[in-house]
Chains A and B, each alone.
Chain A
Amino acid sequence: MGVVLEQHETCILLRLEGVLGVGDAAELKARLVEALHDGKALRILPGKLSYLDVTAVQLLWASAREAEKHGQRLSLEEPFPESVIASLREAGLELEFIGGEATGNNEKCEKEMDRA
């Protein structure tokens, strides 16, 4: 399973790792719902991903819309493995919310992560 959720005081980190396919989709949805329910900033870290299928992409899109609706911050942060981006682009799938400005909250979160 390549979905790891970390709760921090000011943010939630969702680490995506390895191959994320249809078999992981239910778990990924549950984690995203859980993270968004909390209302904290959600930072998604895809650095260790090796493959992302359409189910995961759909869930990330829907989560981004959900976060936007509630004024919640969601960022899909770099580094994003080039090979994964390339395979998505080849299928016409774009994850436009890659990156994210370094906000005060993010800085706090970084510090919390460092402490952890």
Chain B
Amino acid sequence: MMPAGITTDQFKESFRIEAREIVANLELALLELNSSPGDEELVASVFRGLHTIKGSGAMFGFDELAAFTHDLETAFDEVRNGRLEVTEELVDLTLSALDHVRQLIGDVDTPNAIDSRMEILTQVQKLTGQKTTAGDSDSAGDETPSGHDSATREWLIRFVPGTEMLRDGTDPLLLLGELRQLGRLSIRAVTDAVPALEDLDPERCYVVWDAVLLSAASEDTIRDVFIFVEGLCELTVEPLQCCTSPHSSRTASVDSLIRHPGKGANPIHEPLRRGEPQEAVPTLRIRAAKLDQFVDLVGELVTVQARLSEMAAGHENADLAEVSEQIERLTSALRENSMTLRMIPIRGTFERFRRLVHDLAREMSKQVELKIEGGETELDKSVIEQLNDPLMHLIRNSMDHGIEDAETRAARGKKAMAKITLSARHAGTSVLITVEDDGGGIDLAAVRKRAVERGLIDTGALLTEAETYALLFRPGFSTAVCVTDISGRGVGMDVVQRNVESLRGTVEIASRPGEGTKVILRLPLTMAIIDGLLVRVAGASFVLPLANALECIELTREEIARSNGKHLISVRGEILAYIRLREYFHLLGRAPAQEQVMIVENEGERYGLVVDEVLGNCQTVIKSLGRMYRHVQMVSGATILGNGSVALILDPERLVQEATRTLQSRSRGHPVSMAGGGPTDCSTAQVA
């Protein structure tokens, strides 16, 4: 029966979401099976995944999907029962089948899809030696003839429903009824955990069941009874070795087994008697759009709260100040909480590329292993969503241009199995996503030659390594001799840079000829709100990310004069270079007698940013500057202050990089001017 207020369409949509997750996990399990074909756990998980898709699909009216999955499930039932071996052919067939499953889940069918599905099933049938049942919708609900061992044995079963199982619409009594159909069942309900009426959550199951089942069914068949509540309950199924008797006419008493373990001398009773049911951590699935809307509202609240704080500061009213402070604290907590909701681990995105690497390796006859590191690193949901395309292009490039063919690798003394590493790690307010391969590296000479051919640079142009790599990001640039299905059209790196820059990130390349290439995507942790330090320079307001700021010290005119124009300052004996924002941005007006140096740190390096005045901390809702300003990289966005004015949010790291770059280009082509340009001054200091 359907809970009130939930429509069939909503159920179907929920099924689609869950089925897509199951397919993604199936894909990973299949790819792992390729390297560990004897892993019974993996086989069982593939079977369970297929069984769930089939069963749930049939329940929600996806009859074609259920019928199509049935034969695949049968194949893996044969595998888990030892009648069929895991081969590359079976894995590849199932992977191809999963592509069709995705289409069927989404109700998106392509021309010739039915023929293609029938072909897959025919091949599966050849492998299993069974009749294909696709197209026969009745088959969806059928039990396979397998799943029963010839010997009858006793099983000790403990079933602990999780806190969310009933709310999820599952009735444990119906599951126990289904279990009873497998054989002779003796059952005991453990009710010790049922609390007092006042404390009882009416929609939670506090009862735990211990049962002894006399049956010819296999462990997998018993577990299959609970397959739809996997994750919503704890289930233990253990054979009762001591009591096994194919001729036994009655099951052992559950109580006798559990209360008197000595008699049965079966150690498995001990864990069964221990402890109360463990509470599963409840989770809630929320539509991404709702979460985005929530975070937007929190952003608006942060802006209004800033305005309130400013108003309170302007009125000498203790009550108003107190309320303002309370709202500030609450807003801060709400903001942090909402940001946490948006953070998701990147592992899911990384894992998706296992299939791509597997398929490309087959296609190109290369042996490539994908290694994943730092999958637990969390990033803002919106950042992760936009990483798919760049990562796909980078991996395709590595596979096609980076990883050498087997002969070349052998000649270079490299292992036949090439490696692509996808990794993620935090670095200050950024996350570094790295795609690294142990291939042939980038041929700088070939890049230069191609750039000259395309008229991008002059024949005699002197380019640094970084400038040469930068050519790879030009639209349509490729050094590939021929265009393949995989890459070579020169659109990949362009897309990578464009997507990463739209996330306020950067792309860096490092490569060693013959050893490999590393592409680093530097991305902001979050796209929405940051803690900042509000500063003022020549009447203009700027925000510096607080995560970069270490301390603030004073800078007098005398100290500036003493440094002889070098823009260096001594901080407790350490000489630090600084950038005067007033000079760098060419802001007019006389500087105050005493300026402030914000000491900031980035990746272990410390430097100073000189401002007129530090106004204090602020929570900043980042607003994009739009496409027109996308090349102004030292500014990561803008924010609306409490008084309604706009402040630019600076990116200290990019500020220093830009300054250094300006100095380098001037020192190559032009004499360095110490008088006018701020960038020159600060870069001199940086180099000094």
**Chain A residues within 8 Å of B, Cβ to Cβ:** 21-23, 25-26, 28-29, 32-33, 36, 53-55, 57-59, 61-63, 65-66, 87-88, 90-93
Contacts and interface: CB of A to CB of B under 8 A. Distances in A.
B209 interface: yes
B29 interface: no
Contact of B172 (A28, A66, A91): A91
Nearest to A23: B3
Tier of interface size on chain B: 20 to 34
A61 B187 CA distance: 19
Contacts of A66: 196-198
Nearest to B165: A22
24 contacts: A21-B171, A25-B202, A26-B202, A29-B200, A32-B197, A53-B171, A53-B173, A54-B172, A55-B166, A55-B204, A57-B207, A58-B191, A58-B194, A58-B200, A58-B202, A58-B207, A59-B202, A65-B197, A87-B177, A90-B176, A91-B173, A91-B189, A92-B211, A93-B189
Given A61-B194, A91-B189, A92-B189, A26 B203 contact: yes
A54 B65 CA distance: 34
A51 B171 CA distance: 12
A58 B4 contact: no
Given A21-B171, A55-B205, 20 more contacts: A22-B166, A22-B169, A23-B3, A29-B202, A32-B197, A33-B198, A36-B197, A53-B171, A53-B173, A55-B204, A58-B191, A58-B205, A90-B177, A90-B187, A91-B187, A91-B189, A92-B188, A92-B211, A93-B173, A93-B189
B196 A65 contact: yes
Given A55-B205, A58-B194, A58-B206, A23 B171 contact: no
Contact of A23 (B4, B173, B177, B196): B4
Interface centre among A26, A58, A63 (most CB of B within 10 A): A58
Contacts of B173: 53-54, 87-88, 90-91, 93
B206 A91 contact: no
B167 A62 contact: no
B191 to A, nearest CB: 7
Q: Which 5 A-B pairs have the closest CB atoms?
A: A25-B202, A92-B189, A62-B197, A92-B187, A29-B202
Tell me the interface secondary structure of chain B in the complex.
Answer: loop
A29 B171 contact: no
A23 B3 CA distance: 8
Given A55-B166, A87-B173, A22 B203 contact: yes
A23 B203 CA distance: 8
A114 B196 CA distance: 34
Contacts of A23: 3-4
Nearest to A58: B194
A22 B196 CA distance: 18
A29 B205 contact: no
Contacts of B203: 22, 25-26, 55
Contact of A62 (B171, B172, B196, B209): B196
A61 B211 CA distance: 21
Contacts of A25: 202-203
